[in-house]
Amino acid sequence: MSIQNSILQATNLSLGYQKGSRSNVIAAHISFSLEKGKLTCLLGPNGVGKSTLIKTILGQIPALKYQVYLDKKPTNSISIKDLSKKIAVVLTEKINSANLTVKQVVSLGRIPHTGWLGNLSVADQQKIDVAIQSTHINYIENRPMSELSDGQLQKVMIARALAQDCEILILDEPTAHLDLINRFEIMHLLRDIARNKNKAVLVVTHDLDIAIDTADEFWLMQCGLPLVCGSPEDLILQGKIDLLLPNDRLYFDKSDGKVQDSEEFQYPHIDGPEYMVKWVKLALRKNKINPEGKSISIKTEGKQTYFYLSLGKQTLKFESIASCLDHLNLVKN
Amino acid sequence: MKNKHTYFLFLTGMLVCLLLFAVNLASGSVLIPIQEVAGRFIGGEFSKSSWETIVIGYRIPKAFTAILAGIGLSLSGLQMQTFFRNPLAGPYVLGISSGAGLGVALLIMAGSAFGWSMYSGGLGIWAVVFSATLGSVLVLLLMSLTAWKVKDSMTLLIVGLMFGSAVSALISVLSYFSGADQLKMFTIWSMGSLGGTQPDQLIAFLVAVLLGLVPLLVNLKSFNAMLLGEAYAESMGVNVHRLRWAMIVSTGILAGSVTAFCGPIAFIGIAVPHMARLVFKTGDHRVLFPASALIGAAVLLACDTISQLPGSAQTLPINAVTSLVGAPMVIWLILRRNFSKEF
């Protein structure tokens, strides 16, 4: 960790809610350092206190013990006006201002920087245009918010946060409810923003696959344990990524980069190209079919691939994995 | 965010307002030709001296009252709707009119025990204004206390509705025990009237409305931030707690003074902001606030003209006319523009 790039730090932080004299600790021993120019992903199961951590960073709820420091100052000593020039957010809250156009919503991001009437200067306009350009939403600039898809909506909210022009960008589950392509696009967009604009980007997400592909830094949160920080690659090799998995039923496959069922499974002998064998295995495993004493071989003849199932003396030929499985299911019963 | 279309709409709105103002002055139980009214304004004189008394002494104060009340009600409605993110919020949801009603009910029903009557000279109207103000201030204080204790805005809205219901119930109890004369007096007050304001009261009303505008103007930008919800507003440096106080004070003064001087006037506060959004097609409060004020003034002027039943000596209660005329209009607007999505 380089010291000069660190913008937000905390040591041994305790999070939770204060109710009268009783305090309800949600997470303790939280230490972190958020760095500029890096995409950091905060991962952890639901209810572990990710949102509480975000709220504490934003100064919306006080920390129970110790402080979050922004530029060497505790965040709760910074007025929300000054904080709004340092940290911009994208929240999970739904926006239902159908009468606003995309550009108007992005312009709202300039509110902390404008006078009492909120009139935009030329410099403000430029920042808005840059935000719109870097999120690639020029083509919907004048559309009302009610006509946008979920993916477009999320990009607009990111553009609004960019227009706020802060060093820190915090996003709470920006890829929830989005399709695969949009999830990829948004995470890569955030990575570009962190890189090109030298911003500290903190993303709460549940998308482990995409997070591994895009993040520079992982913060893993698990009930009752200190926050684990490190690059995703290191955490995988150290086996610390398993912290995200609640029990032994699942494990993280270090070679595949995927979460797998840890149940032992015996495969029959399968012949063929490696990448094809992999998918046949997956199909067998999902259907819990283990054809003992049988073997499968995959052969490509011309443009067509065939699956040969040998049952001792007899060999059957199938055109697809599905039809092969159907037969095996029939035999099993 | 303003463009030519917006300016055109404002200009049209102002012309419509001016026209309605002239028509309002011309119509009544005595019909004065509109060209005479227009002539009087550019320095001419009325052909009948009695018209001078009618227009200057009665109709002009009434028209200005309508304008002020329209502005006050629609602006407090717009603030409420934006702050609570609720299209059904209006200036009276925090129990302000019920509070004023309680004040007046106490005055009329308890006052009669001391030989006071609404018709006992000029003091009568001031007494009504005073007690209505006192009643709404009382409810406002209770609401402020709640706002100080309660963090969630939706809770505040519910508490406000409950206050309103409780106060209305108190009025019912008072009505039950009061005589027929007092009951009629109170009922007439609760139907609203724009014609009761004399010039000195009009000045007091104007000062109150201007005062109520101050918290709103100071927080204009914050209302735009509130369009994205409280959490986003806070992340953009808006002190939501302070904004809530400003809103309560502003709507309290605006809606409270309207109720004090004109009695409760339904519909305007809740419907005009929607009309402004539909006509100006924007969510920007720098446009919506003046637009709502303009439309509010125009609608109340039009309603007052209708309530005079042009060509007849009869008048209808303004509170009934606003809803009778306005409700179908809003329903038509909503159905035509697929309203459910728009806020």
- Which spans in B281-317 are helix H? 285-307
CA–CA separation, B75 and B254 (whole Å): 8
Q: Residue B81: its chain A contacts at CB < 8 A?
A: none
φ and ψ at residue B3, rounded to 5 degrees: -140, 180
- Domains of chain A, residue spans: 1-86+166-256, 95-165, 269-332
The Cα-based distances of A200 to A70, A132, A192, B305 in angstroms read 12, 19, 11, 62
b (16+ CB within 10 A) / e for A252-288: beeeeeebeeeeeeeebebebeeebbeebeeebeeee
| Residue among A85, A87, A97 whose CB faces B283 most closely | A97
Handedness of CA A114, A116, A118, A119 (dihedral sign): negative
**A94-103, B47-56, B105-114: lowest mean pLDDT where?**
B105-114
Asked if B282's CB is within 8 angstroms of A112's CB, the reply is no
CA angle B207, B208, B211 (to 5 degrees): 85
Task: Examine the pLDDT at B297 and tell me if it is beyond 90.
Answer: yes
- pTM of the full structure: 0.82
Give me the mean pLDDT over the A155-165 stretch. Answer: 92
Between B83 and A219, the higher pLDDT residue: A219
Report the number of secondary-structure helices (H) and strands (E) in chain B. Answer: 15, 0
Whether the CB of A118 is below 8 Å from some CB of chain B: the reply is yes
Confidence tier at B1 by pLDDT (50, 70, 90): very low
The tens digit of pLDDT for each residue in A118-145 reads: 788 899 999 999 999 988 899 998 888 8
For B2, the token pair is 């303003």
Task: Examine the pLDDT at A42 and tell me if it is beyond 90.
Answer: yes
Task: Examine the pLDDT at B139 and tell me if it is beyond 50.
Answer: yes
Give me the mean pLDDT over the B295-305 stretch. Answer: 93
The Cα-based distances of B60 to A222, B21, B57, B300 in angstroms read 72, 9, 7, 14
| Residue among B218, B225, B342 whose CB faces A108 most closely | B225
Asked if B225's CB is within 8 angstroms of A111's CB, the reply is yes
- Domains of chain B, residue spans: 4-341
Q: Does domain B4-341 have CATH number 1.10.3470.10?
A: yes
Q: Note the pLDDT of residue B118.
A: 54
- Which spans in B150-229 are helix H? 153-176, 180-190, 199-218, 220-225
B9, B279 in Cβ contact below 8 A? yes
Confidence tier at B343 by pLDDT (50, 70, 90): low
Q: Residue A100: its chain B contacts at CB < 8 A?
A: 227, 282-284
Nearest CA in chain B to A104: B1
Between B28 and A201, the higher pLDDT residue: A201
CA–CA separation, B36 and B50 (whole Å): 13
Task: Examine the pLDDT at B341 and tell me if it is beyond 50.
Answer: no
| Residue among B85, B227, B232 whose CB faces A100 most closely | B227
B181, B113 in Cβ contact below 8 A? no
The tens digit of pLDDT for each residue in A229-267 reads: 999 999 988 888 888 887 778 888 887 777 877 777 788
Whether the CB of A92 is below 8 Å from some CB of chain B: the reply is no
Q: Note the pLDDT of residue A192.
A: 92
B236/chain A closest Cα distance in angstroms: 5
A53, A103 in Cβ contact below 8 A? no
Q: Residue B218: its chain A contacts at CB < 8 A?
A: 116
Q: Which residue has the tokens 């419907």?
A: B271
CA–CA separation, B58 and A194 (whole Å): 68
Contacts of A217 (CB under 8 A, 6+ apart): A35, A38, A39, A40, A41, A229, A230, A231, A232
Strands across the sheet with A22-35, in order?
A: A22-35, A6-19, A68-70, A73-74
B322, B265 in Cβ contact below 8 A? yes
B213, B73 in Cβ contact below 8 A? no
CA–CA separation, B339 and A146 (whole Å): 12
| Residue among B218, B229, B286 whose CB faces A118 most closely | B286
Q: CA nearest B231: which of A202, A76, A69, A89? A: A89
Nearest CA in chain B to A101: B282
- Which spans in A144-269 are helix H? 150-163, 180-196, 208-214, 232-237
Mean pLDDT (chain A) is 87
Q: Residue A81: its chain B contacts at CB < 8 A?
A: 237, 239
CA angle B137, B233, A216 (to 5 degrees): 160
Mean pLDDT (chain B) is 83
Fold of A1-86+166-256: Rossmann fold (3.40.50)
B8/chain A closest Cα distance in angstroms: 19
Helix, strand or coil, per DSSP, at residue A101: strand
Task: Examine the pLDDT at B289 and tell me if it is beyond 90.
Answer: yes
